[in-house]
Amino acid sequence: MIKHGLRFLAGVVLVAPVVAGSAYAADGLTVYNTNCSVCHQAGGAGMPGQFPVLKNRIDKIASTPEGKKYLADVVLNGLHGPIQAGGASYAGFMPSLKALSDEDIAAVLSYVASLGDTKPAPTLTADDIKAARATPKKGPEVQAERSALNAAHPIP
């Protein structure tokens, strides 16, 4: 009896992360609350002077292919140094979240894009993230990408 119970328990332990991982990837809100809300606050409200507002901004950035690529690069590679966002200045540090799966990053970016006024909200896919992951960038490269994007399509 104990032997069968141990086999069952081992099976549950081995299967649980796979089941939890796929459910986790599908829920951008959960990914956001776990990884992003400590800085960007609930609902993407931001923190004045420290962390930019995401609500009503990310949807506009994600409305172009270049914007989607930039957002994926920010989450994968982080962003360091001064930026202007939503009419305010920030001198912050966003860490890389490349340890998250492509599905989780796509889910969280799609969730944050859904907080804006753009309807239907832009979405990102795991393939979008996989493509961005294939060409990692360093901090100055992400800043340069932001500047180029801002010149072509002003970043709100």
3-47 pLDDT tens trace: 443 333 333 333 333 333 344 345 999 999 999 999 999 999 999
* DSSP assignments along 56-116, one per residue: TTHHHHTTSHHHHHHHHHHHHH-EEEEEEETTEEEEEEE---TTS-HHHHHHHHHHHHTTS
Provide the Cα torsion 34, 40, 41, 44; round to 10°. -100
Single pTM value for the model: 0.82
Q: Give the pLDDT confidence score for residue 79 in this predicted structure.
A: 94
Q: Give the pLDDT confidence score for residue 18 in this predicted structure.
A: 34
Q: How remote is the C-alpha of 144 from its chain's centroid?
A: 19
47/127 Cα distance (integer angstroms): 31
Contact (Cβ atoms closer than 8 angstroms) between residue 96 and residue 77:
yes
* DSSP assignments along 114-151, one per residue: TTSS-SSPP---HHHHHHHHTS---HHHHHHHHHHHHH
Please give the share of the chain, as a percent, with pLDDT higher than 90.
Answer: 76
Q: Give the pLDDT confidence score for residue 24 in this predicted structure.
A: 38
Least confident range of 21-35, 66-80, 122-136, 141-155: 21-35
What is the set of domains in the chain, with CATH numbers?
Answer: 27-152 (1.10.760.10)
Strand partners, 17: none
Q: Give the pLDDT confidence score for residue 91 in this predicted structure.
A: 87
21/25 Cα distance (integer angstroms): 6
